[in-house]
Copies of this chain bind each other. A is one copy, B any other.
Amino acid sequence: MAIVLGLPKGSLQESTFALFKRAGFNVSCSSRSYIPSIDDEEIKCRLLRPQEMSRYVELGLLDAGICGYDWVYENGSDIEEVCELNYSKATSNPVRWVLAVPEDSKIKKVEDLQGKRISTEAIGLTKRYLKKHGVKADVEFSWGATEVKAPELVDAIVDLTETGSSLRANKLRIVDTILTSTTRLIANKKSWKNAAKRAKLEQLKMLLTGALEAQRRVLLKCNAPAKALDKVVKVMPALHAPTVNQLHGGEWYAVESVVEERLVRDLIPQLTKAGATGIIELPLNKIIF
């Protein structure tokens, strides 16, 4: 029995395929097809726009799918969230849906939108947000290039931003952040209750998060003389404790630990100071705590 898994077509596609590769699955797709091949007989893949993913997962046409939380929310889909997968297009920051207006607009807060026209690709999200704040406004569907529409064609926009640079380039000011979103593995509720399907989804979760964790971590190894061992071990961060191993001859110890890569640049000077030598850093493919 195989699960049918939706993968996101578009800007996330390449990084999703790369993530699966690191997790141990070879996924490939000819340019015009929407049926990627995968080297696991228990998985059937489909490529879908992230905007439509949760709709078909909810209907059960897919057992599971990968897409942003924003589109689950926009569609109001009733699905099971399996786990967060912390990766996106350019950076590891979450994307945000923001309400933005021209820099010199008089609109300073959501309440100033009363009776105005707003352009957005996320109609549902925007309407629920306005309703929550008791504001009535015209919400128009945008077919793209939303950020160039204000102020000539509309008064405000609700758009996606990762770094804010496109908004700045179009001289827009953020009034409010409506939703912060990251990528998720979601499942159909019935599939999630099916034992075999759930086991497969748990395996996927373990391997995908293991591959993501490994990207942010490295294996750090060093040697320490007996007298410096305590200091070195103290400096070396570890989930439990670093792995320590007495070397042949007895006077030296090998210390190794999986550490976050962003800490290494400060850690290395400290290890050196503590008496460690022969420090080496190795890349990881996967890590399961």
Stretch in A81-89, A102-110, A142-150, A179-187 touching the partner:
A142-150
Contacts of A254 in B (CB 8 A): 243, 245
Indicate with 1 or 0, residue by residue over A278-289, a CB within 8 angstroms of chain B CB atoms: 111111111111
**CB < 8 Å neighbour of A244 from B9, B23, B34, B247:** B247
Indicate with 1 or 0, residue by residue over A179-217, a CB within 8 angstroms of chain B CB atoms: 000000000000000000000001100110010001000
- Say if the beta carbon of A246 comes within 8 Å of chain B: yes
Once A248-B253, A282-B284 are accepted as A-B contacts, the answer to whether A207 and B243 lie under 8 Å apart by CB is no
- Say if the beta carbon of A39 comes within 8 Å of chain B: yes
Which residues 216-233 of A sit at the B interface, judged by CB distance below 8 A? 218-219, 223
- Residues of A in contact (CB 8 Å), total 72
Q: Is A214 a contact partner of B281 (Cβ separation < 8 A)?
A: yes
**CB < 8 Å neighbour of A153 from B61, B144, B247:** B61
Indicate with 1 or 0, residue by residue over A129-143, a CB within 8 angstroms of chain B CB atoms: 000000000001011
- Say if the beta carbon of A268 comes within 8 Å of chain B: yes
Once A34-B145, A261-B24 are accepted as A-B contacts, the answer to whether A248 and B245 lie under 8 Å apart by CB is yes
Q: Is A165 a contact partner of B289 (Cβ separation < 8 A)?
A: no
What is the minimal beta-carbon distance from A286 to any residue of chain B, in angstroms? 4
Contacts of A240 in B (CB 8 A): 277-278
Q: Is A49 a contact partner of B143 (Cβ separation < 8 A)?
A: yes
Tell me if A's interface is mostly helix, strand, loop or mixed.
Answer: mixed
CA–CA, A140 and B61, complex, Å: 15
**CB < 8 Å neighbour of A23 from B56, B144, B265, B289:** B265
- Say if the beta carbon of A73 comes within 8 Å of chain B: no
CA–CA, A249 and B206, complex, Å: 30
CA–CA, A47 and B203, complex, Å: 45
What is the minimal beta-carbon distance from A283 to any residue of chain B, in angstroms? 6
CA–CA, A272 and B245, complex, Å: 23
CA–CA, A248 and B262, complex, Å: 28
CA–CA, A203 and B271, complex, Å: 13
Contacts of A253 in B (CB 8 A): 248
Nearest chain B residue, comparing its CB with the CB of A199: B269
Once A39-B262, A145-B9, A280-B284 are accepted as A-B contacts, the answer to whether A268 and B152 lie under 8 Å apart by CB is no
Residue of A240, A247, A272 ringed by the most chain B CB atoms within 10 A? A247
Contacts of A286 in B (CB 8 A): 264, 268, 279-281
Closest 6 A/B residue pairs (Cβ)? A244-B248, A49-B143, A24-B265, A281-B286, A281-B285, A34-B148
A-B contact pairs, 10 of them (CB 8 A): A23-B265, A24-B264, A24-B265, A47-B145, A202-B269, A203-B266, A219-B282, A245-B245, A277-B289, A280-B287
